[in-house]
């Protein structure tokens, strides 16, 4: 009998790589009938397998002597899941091997059972040594080459490796709360906790909270939140807030949970028929290279969006009064989406390093850049700009 947590994890891995499903959504349905212990184990196995797919595929190809791309999808998922458990957990080898074989059998691929069994046994004997022998880099740490190359270009080889290692580790559990909970941080209202009580706190990294605090909005001001959902930053903003969200479902969910000072508009900010804002927050869509630890599948689907970001920033600036301020933030670590977008905007930069020196950008200190390996939080780029 296949262990319930492994069966659920297997389902998630298949949906992510075969259907392009988001890992968190696939997990939610896969574990709906499991108890808390099995849910936690299924999440660990599924997320770990998705995150480490490149390393696992390398091992499967080297020891299985067959390209992963040529394997039947159920076989590929079973081998990946089994390989992850062998290399990155302390689960019993015989149980891992047996379940991988049974998963393939349950998929009615009896002809592939001997192959799966043989490869799993080779992995059990050789995968750990093979992974340990790999040079530090994107294959061993399981990243697409382009991410490793981007970080090496922007920060140097040593920091690139540190970022890759840091975002393979579970992130700190950070929240926003109106009253003290857990352990305080250097960001007002941000705390680190062991468990989340949703009635008292909102899961949100302190880097994300910092982006909203930098806006500095005050009561009586008109404030534009240009890309508002899911609404964490919106909840921090003061003043009369117009929260813009282009996706209808996300806009509806946002409207159901905002404070009285917030008005939600379901529109693309580039088409918003409002202006006269004193402040704006543009928390733009991005490649998400600063939140890879929280989203195991994102490294395989991420793509830079500098053109869209420039357009959203320009649209928000057009709707802001002369002398007003615009905060541009993105949860990515990529100069093409960060400082290059700001440099192209024509807006005046208002330096932030005097207010938050611990988060100053390493080469452009007028900006903020939180770094997962250094700051133990999400990676965010934050710039405060003024419209002439």
| Residues classed as catalytic | 331
Q: Strand, helix or coil at 161?
A: helix
**What does the alpha-carbon distance between residue 159 and residue 335 come to, in Å, rounded to a whole number?**
14
Report the DSSP pairing between strands 240-244 and 262-265.
parallel
Report the DSSP pairing between strands 222-225 and 190-192.
unpaired
Where residue 231 falls (left for φ over 0; alpha for ψ -120 to 50; beta otherwise) is left
Instruction: Give the chain's radius of gyration (CA, Å).
Output: 23
* Residue pair 314/345 in contact by the 8 Å Cβ criterion: yes
- The backbone torsions φ and ψ at residue 353, rounded to the nearest 5 degrees and listed phi first, read -65, -25
State the SS3 of 178-247: CCCCCEECCCCCEEECCCCCCCCCEECCHHHHHHHHHHCCCCCCEEEECCCCCCCCHHHCCCEEEEECCC
Token readout for 45 is 């196995």
Report the DSSP pairing between strands 381-386 and 277-283.
unpaired
**What does the alpha-carbon distance between residue 275 and residue 320 come to, in Å, rounded to a whole number?**
6
* Residue pair 109/71 in contact by the 8 Å Cβ criterion: no
- The backbone torsions φ and ψ at residue 265, rounded to the nearest 5 degrees and listed phi first, read -125, 125
**What does the alpha-carbon distance between residue 310 and residue 313 come to, in Å, rounded to a whole number?**
5
* Residue pair 313/328 in contact by the 8 Å Cβ criterion: yes
Residue whose entry in the numeric block shows the structure tokens 């928390």: 283
CA angle 20, 22, 27 (to 5 degrees): 120
* Residue pair 317/342 in contact by the 8 Å Cβ criterion: no
Token readout for 232 is 């964490």
């Amino acid at each position: 009998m296949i262990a319930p947590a492994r069966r659920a994890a297997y389902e998630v891995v298949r949906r992510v790589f075969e259907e392009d499903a988001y890992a968190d959504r696939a997990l939610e349905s896969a574990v709906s009938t499991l108890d808390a212990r099995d849910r936690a184990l299924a999440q660990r196995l599924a997320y770990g397998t998705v995150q480490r797919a490149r390393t696992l595929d390398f091992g499967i190809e080297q020891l299985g002597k067959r390209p992963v791309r040529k394997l039947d999808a159920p076989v590929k998922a079973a081998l990946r899941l089994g390989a992850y458990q062998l290399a990155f957990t302390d689960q019993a080898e015989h149980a891992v091997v047996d379940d991988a074989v049974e998963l393939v059998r349950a998929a009615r691929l009896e002809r592939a059972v001997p192959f799966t069994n043989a490869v799993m046994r080779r992995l059990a004997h050789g995968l750990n040594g093979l992974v340990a022998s790999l040079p530090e880099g994107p294959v061993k740490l399981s990243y697409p080459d382009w991410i490793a190359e981007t970080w090496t270009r922007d920060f140097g080889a040593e920091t690139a490796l540190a970022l890759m290692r840091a975002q393979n580790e579970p992130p700190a559990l950070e929240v926003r709360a109106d009253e003290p909970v857990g352990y305080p941080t250097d960001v007002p209202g941000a705390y680190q906790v062991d468990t989340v009580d949703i009635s008292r706190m909102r899961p949100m990294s302190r880097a994300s909270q910092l982006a909203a605090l930098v806006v500095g909005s005050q009561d009586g001001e008109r404030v534009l939140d240009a890309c508002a959902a899911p609404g964490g930053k919106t909840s921090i903003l003061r003043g009369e807030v117009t929260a813009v969200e282009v996706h209808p479902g996300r806009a509806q969910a946002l409207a159901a949970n905002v404070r009285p000072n917030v008005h939600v508009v379901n529109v693309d900010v580039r088409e918003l028929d409002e202006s006269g804002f004193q402040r704006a927050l543009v928390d733009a869509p991005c490649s998400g290279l600063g939140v890879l630890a929280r989203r195991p599948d994102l490294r395989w689907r991420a793509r830079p969006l500098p053109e869209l970001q420039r357009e959203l920033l320009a649209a928000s600036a057009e709707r802001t009064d002369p002398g007003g301020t615009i905060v541009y933030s993105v949860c990515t670590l990529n100069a093409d989406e960060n400082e290059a977008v700001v440099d192209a905007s024509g807006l005046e930069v208002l330096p932030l390093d005097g207010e938050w020196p611990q988060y100053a950008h390493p080469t452009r200190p007028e900006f903020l850049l939180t770094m997962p390996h250094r700051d133990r939080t999400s990676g965010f780029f934050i710039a405060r700009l003024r419209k002439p």
